[in-house]
Amino acid sequence: MQSLASPTRHRVAGSERIGPYTLLRLERGGLEPGVAGQFFMLEAPGRPLPRPFSLCLAPPGELAFLIDPIGPGTEAICELEVGDEIRVLGPLGHGYRLDVERPLLVGGGIGIAPLPYLAEQLGGSPPVVLGFRSEEHAEAAALFPSAEVVIDPVLVTDVLPEGYDVLACGPEPMLHAVADLCPDAQLAWEAPMACGYGACYGCVVEIDGALKRLCLEGPVLDAQRVNGRYRVPAVSEEAVSA
Amino acid sequence: MRILNASGCLDALAAPEVARQLDAFVTKTVTPLPREGNAPPRIAETAHGMLNAIGLANPGRERFVADHLPRLRELGIPLWVSVGGFCAEDYAVTCSLLAGIEAIELNLSCPNVDEAADSAAEIVAACRRASELPLYAKLSAAHPDIAEVAQAVAAAGADGLSLINTLRAVAFDRQLRPALARGSGGLSGPALKPVALHAVRACHTETVLPIVGMGGIQTGRDALEFAACGARDIALGTVLFADPGAPSRVRVELASACEDAGVAKPEDAASLAKTPETGRKVPA
């Protein structure tokens, strides 16, 4: 993990639309890409708080993030242009365990964000199943050389093959459904976060039966550690695709 | 001028390198019994600040003293323990259990718990009887006359003031639902700074107690404005979330802000602030 000092400034190297999402590429500078599933806090221009994003891709000399513009902060980040600079802190939190025998990557919507980098770290082109709410959102499947893609009302859990080590990221209902089918899955969760390093106590979810900070415990957790006493309806504002 | 953290805005055990930038670390508020805190969502951003409704999540005083305090001491930085409760006795008993720390901050003003506390002066008096440690009373600017409360806690034996706590506020999401599960929460961040500055100035005028000023401080210049209002020390809260290097940064910026203002040290800014600008007739 990056030592906790002031976030460093990074120039935008590229920003391209993929369906409704934006793939933002930043010059890496001195930051390490970390382990897939870890996250970075990106400054949201003009807003008081940064936003958490898991790393999507780690091209040479760059860090790339997939962003869904769903609120003022994420919109401001998507409007960044090449040459603009933003402050970045990370990598933070705990990513996926990569020591799995038969990986299967499962993503839903913006939850596909950490999977391209995860596939790269796992090596060997693991199978990928992706679910989207529309054809437009499904354009983001272009980030993967080959993936099985389903579109609502078909769900990823309708097509999950058996016998794999599932590594998933997506909306809460999808993660709960995956957990029911695959109790040994590794799941990347999201929650509103102000800091990303355990200071704000804002990102608690129920982990091991108690409210714990997702930024410190996760965001990737073994499926059996999370159950549903508190279900956040949906991340309402800026989300936080950590 | 010392730089502290605002209570509840830093976990020194999770981020010791941030705590070590401070002149003293202030703990999250400790209550008699363990509290899990409020259900999520607990935070929401606003245009110029944020709301939180954490709900005083803490391990309770017994586990705090037995487990957390020894680990905090290992960090080797001065400690302030924030104490909360629902009656004077709650506060006093916790104070009596604390030793080997620099000061106690009495949280007399958390907007995120339901129970109404006894009067500030009664709580301070009970704690005064229970502990010889320096007692800082943390007050809310929601009171119509905060200087009156400051005088009351001074008379009851407080050694200092922490000004200010968050202000109760509400925010909505795009579907017009309250953004926090609790409905309302405490507003912090830059939006609070003018309110905090006024509170510090009012209390500094009416009491001789040393003041830790806080509320929306982002830069060294902000810190100097608190000094100009009479704050002896300052605390950083919301800014820590966006910038874990803020204590070191603000300390450096404060030195150059003093230089820019033509004062040798922050305390000297107080004399400048006593003379309002009267020449300018149009907004700058």
- In the numeric block, the tokens 């089918």 are attached to A181
In this structure, of A75-89, A128-142, A179-193, B112-126, the range with the lowest mean pLDDT score is: B112-126
Cβ contact, residue pair B45, A47, below 8 Å: yes
List the single residue in A199, A237, A238 with the smallest CB-CB distance to B241. Answer: A199
For the question of an ipTM over 0.90, the answer is: yes
In a domain, B86, yes or no: yes
- How many domains, chain B? 1
- DSSP track, chain A: ---SSSPEEEEEEEEEEETTEEEEEEE-TT----SBTBEEEE--TTSSS-EEEE--B--TTEEEEEE---SHHHHHHHT--TT-EEEEEEEESB------SSEEEEEEGGGGTTHHHHHHHH-S---EEEEESSHHHHGGGGGSSS-EEEETTS-GGGSPPSS-EEEEE--HHHHHHHHHH-TT-EEE-----SSSSSSS---EEEETTEEEEHHHH-BEEEGGGB--SS--S---SS--B-
Cβ contact, residue pair A194, B44, below 8 Å: no
**Which one of A47, A189, A237, A240 would you mutate to disrupt binding with B, by most B Cβ within 10 Å of its Cβ?**
A237
Structure tokens at B191: 């939006």
**The length of chain A, given as a count of residues:** 242
Chain A environment of B18 (Cβ under 8 Å):
4, 197, 199
**Greatest CA separation for chain A:** 47
**pTM to 2 decimal places:** 0.94
CA B10 to chain A, closest CA, distance in angstroms equals 4
**Which one of B5, B42, B172 would you mutate to disrupt binding with A, by most A Cβ within 10 Å of its Cβ?**
B42
pLDDT at B116: 47
Radius of gyration of chain B (CA): 18
Mean per-residue pLDDT for B67-73? 98
Mean per-residue pLDDT for A206-216? 95
Chain B environment of A73 (Cβ under 8 Å):
45
Mean per-residue pLDDT for B162-167? 96
**What CATH number did the domain enclosing B129 receive?**
3.20.20.70
Mean pLDDT of chain A: 93
pLDDT at A239 over 60: no
pLDDT at B117 over 60: no
Structure tokens at B30: 């400790």
Query: What type of residue sits at position B111?
Result: P
Model confidence at B206, in pLDDT bands (50, 70, 90)? Answer: very high
By CB neighbour count within 10 A (0-12 exposed, 13-18 middle, 19+ buried), where does A69 fall?
middle
In this structure, of A43-47, B5-9, B139-143, B253-257, the range with the lowest mean pLDDT score is: B139-143
Range of the domain at B87: 3-272
pLDDT digits (tens, 9 = 90+) for A175-192: 999 999 999 999 999 999
CB B108 within 8 A of CB B54: no
Residues of B known to be catalytic: 110
pLDDT at B119: 86
In a domain, B205, yes or no: yes
What is d(CA A239, CA A39) in angstroms, rounded to the nearest whole number?
Answer: 13
CB B266 within 8 A of CB B258: yes
In this structure, of A37-41, A211-215, B263-267, B269-273, the range with the lowest mean pLDDT score is: B269-273
pLDDT at B279: 65
Short-list A61, A87, A64, CA closest to A196: A87
List the single residue in A50, A202, A211 with the smallest CB-CB distance to B242. Answer: A50
Model confidence at B280, in pLDDT bands (50, 70, 90)? Answer: low
Cβ contact, residue pair A210, B173, below 8 Å: no
Cβ contact, residue pair B45, A202, below 8 Å: no
Beta strands at A165-169 and A186-188: parallel, antiparallel or unpaired: parallel
- DSSP track, A183-236: TT-EEE-----SSSSSSS---EEEETTEEEEHHHH-BEEEGGGB--SS--S---
Mean per-residue pLDDT for B150-162? 96
- The DSSP secondary-structure symbol of B279 reads S
Model confidence at A238, in pLDDT bands (50, 70, 90)? Answer: very low
- In the numeric block, the tokens 């010889």 are attached to B132
Topology given in CATH for the domain delimited by A8-92: Elongation Factor Tu (Ef-tu); domain 3 (2.40.30)
Which residues from A are below 8 Å from B when comparing CB atoms?
A: 3-7, 41, 43, 47-50, 71, 73, 87, 89, 191-195, 197-205, 210-211, 216, 230, 232, 235-238
Q: Any CB–CB contact under 8 A between B77 and chain A?
A: no
- The DSSP secondary-structure symbol of B152 reads H
Model confidence at A242, in pLDDT bands (50, 70, 90)? Answer: very low
SS3 at position B26: strand
pLDDT at A233: 47
pLDDT at B274: 74
CB interface of B with A, residues 109-138, below 8 Å? none
**Which one of A42, A86, A92, A201 would you mutate to disrupt binding with B, by most B Cβ within 10 Å of its Cβ?**
A201
Mean per-residue pLDDT for B92-100? 97
Specify the higher pLDDT residue, B277 or A58: A58
Model confidence at B271, in pLDDT bands (50, 70, 90)? Answer: confident
Mean pLDDT of chain B: 94
In a domain, B15, yes or no: yes
Cβ contact, residue pair A199, B249, below 8 Å: no
pLDDT at A237: 45
What is d(CA B129, CA B265) in angstroms, rounded to the nearest whole number?
Answer: 36
Classify B257 in phi/psi space as left (phi over 0), alpha (psi -120 to 50) or beta. Answer: alpha
pLDDT at A190: 94
| Chain B CA closest to residue A73 | B45
pLDDT at B283: 63
Domain boundaries, chain A: 8-92, 103-225
pLDDT at B97 over 90: yes
Model confidence at B111, in pLDDT bands (50, 70, 90)? Answer: low
Mean per-residue pLDDT for B235-264? 97
Model confidence at B282, in pLDDT bands (50, 70, 90)? Answer: low
Q: Which CATH architecture has domain A103-225?
A: 3-Layer(aba) Sandwich (3.40)
